[in-house]
Amino acid sequence: TAIRRAIVPANLMDAVSTAVSTRLQKITIGDPAQEGVRMGPLVGRDQVADTWDQLNRLKQHTQVVYGGTQDFALHSGSREGGAFFPATLLRCDNPLTATLPHEVEAFGPVSILMPYNNIDEAIAITKLGRGSLVGSLVSDDPLEAQQIVLGTAAYHGRLLVLNQACAKESTGHGSPLPMLVHGGPGRAGGGEELGGIRAVKHYMQRTALQGSPTMLTAVTKEFHPGSEQITTQVHPFKKYFEDLQIGETLITHRRTVTEADIVNFGCLSGDHFYAHFDEIAAKDSLFGERVAHGYFVISAAAGMFVEPSPGPVLANYGLENLRFVEPVCIGDTIQVRLSCKQKTYKDQRPDDKKPTGVVEWDVEVRNQHDTPVALYSILTLVERRLP
């Protein structure tokens, strides 16, 4: 199937018609197993007949630029027994009033050139198709690309923005890729497939759950804030992967933030932002006074919940979903809640010295008013007892 509608600047219609026709003249039709053949047959004789029918309908509102007749050169194969169809280029000079070029799809090597005079007109012409699997925008103007994508995205399942920077690596118009959604709205069928991990979810049932945080934690095996917390005499970082329970929690000691903490952290990190160092300027800031660095807060929090001696926790794996909710000022006192949120078994590779799993911890830093100041998750690599 060819690109159904090619929307080009009105002043370039003749040049594009000539250029495309010249390229089409070089396409040899025949048995694709033969040397030199560039285009093979359609799926069968029924499709050939249907494509001719659709082409004849399209001719009512278009003019033939190239091809479009049954008298076409065939490099190899049988004209009577095969399912060959000529590459055909049409043009529709009044795309805003003609209807058939937008409604009829030949499902064969048939493409229609349509002129536009400005961006709004191009968008309007695109929308007349009432839904497409994919559209390609060829432009080197970022603002033009933004305007067209925002104006036409709702009518496409996928859009390719093509320019010099990506032309050589482009997979081409309409190529299905596993990480991209494939499918389109309206006349394109309203379906959807692929899209990376989303593709798996098409085959899964989705059920909404309601309940208390404790019950949801038990059902989902993921800690939900507000659920009952499990505390033991053993620091969570001293426990192997199998021994950790979802909801197992450490409440740390308290720490009062001093001016020296802010100055030392700023000098160590090189972050001398005025809200941390300039008392006069800080009075006019969002906070009304000097505040601690956000990264000092999470660094101090780590110092409060980490167990320093060797144990099953092997490495810090990452930090996610960090939010600084309230400022921490000089003289504020912070405390940390660390809860085992989720456990993920990790397959042992041949070069792994120890079997491990990934543990996600829910972290909440609060001040002396019991108000959250920082919320985030940390990931740790934790040793398993058994392979």
**pLDDT greater than 70 at residue 13:** yes
Which of 72-76, 111-115, 188-192, 290-294 is predicted least confidently? 188-192
| Per-residue pLDDT, 2 | 80
| Residue 251 three-state SS | strand
**pLDDT greater than 70 at residue 216:** yes
**If pLDDT is split at 50, 70 and 90, which confidence band does 188 have?**
low
| Per-residue pLDDT, 379 | 97
| Per-residue pLDDT, 190 | 67
pLDDT tens, residue by residue, 79-112: 878 889 899 999 999 999 999 999 898 889 999 9
**pLDDT greater than 90 at residue 259:** yes
Per DSSP, what are the bridge partners of residue 116? 9
Instruction: Count Cβ atoms below 10 Å from residue 154 Cβ, excluding itself.
Output: 10
Q: What is the mean pLDDT of residues 156-180?
A: 82
**In angstroms, rounded to a whole number, what is the distance separating the alpha carbons of residues 75 and 157?**
37
**pLDDT greater than 80 at residue 258:** yes
**If pLDDT is split at 50, 70 and 90, which confidence band does 377 have?**
very high
| Per-residue pLDDT, 1 | 64
**If pLDDT is split at 50, 70 and 90, which confidence band does 355 have?**
very high
| Per-residue pLDDT, 196 | 77
In Å, how far from its chain's centre is CA 376?
23
**Dihedral angle computed from the Cα positions of residues 45, 46, 50 and 56, in that order, rounded to the nearest 10 degrees:** 40
What structural domains and CATH numbers belong to the chain? 5-129 (3.40.309.10), 213-383 (3.10.129.10)
**pLDDT greater than 80 at residue 183:** no
**pLDDT greater than 80 at residue 177:** no
pLDDT tens, residue by residue, 299-352: 999 999 999 999 999 999 899 999 999 999 999 999 999 999 999 998 888 888
Q: What is the mean pLDDT of residues 154-176?
A: 84
**pLDDT greater than 90 at residue 179:** no
The mean pLDDT of the chain is 91
| Per-residue pLDDT, 65 | 93
Q: What is the mean pLDDT of residues 240-251?
A: 95
DSSP 128-166: TT--EEEEEEE-S-HHHHHHHHHHHGGGEEEEEEE-TTT
**In angstroms, rounded to a whole number, what is the distance separating the alpha carbons of residues 282 and 275?**
5
Higher pLDDT residue, 367 or 173? 367
Predicted TM-score (pTM) of this structure: 0.72
Contacts for 91-94 with beta carbons within 8 Å, 24 or more apart? 91/13, 91/17, 91/62, 91/63, 91/65, 92/61, 92/62, 92/63, 93/13, 93/63, 94/61
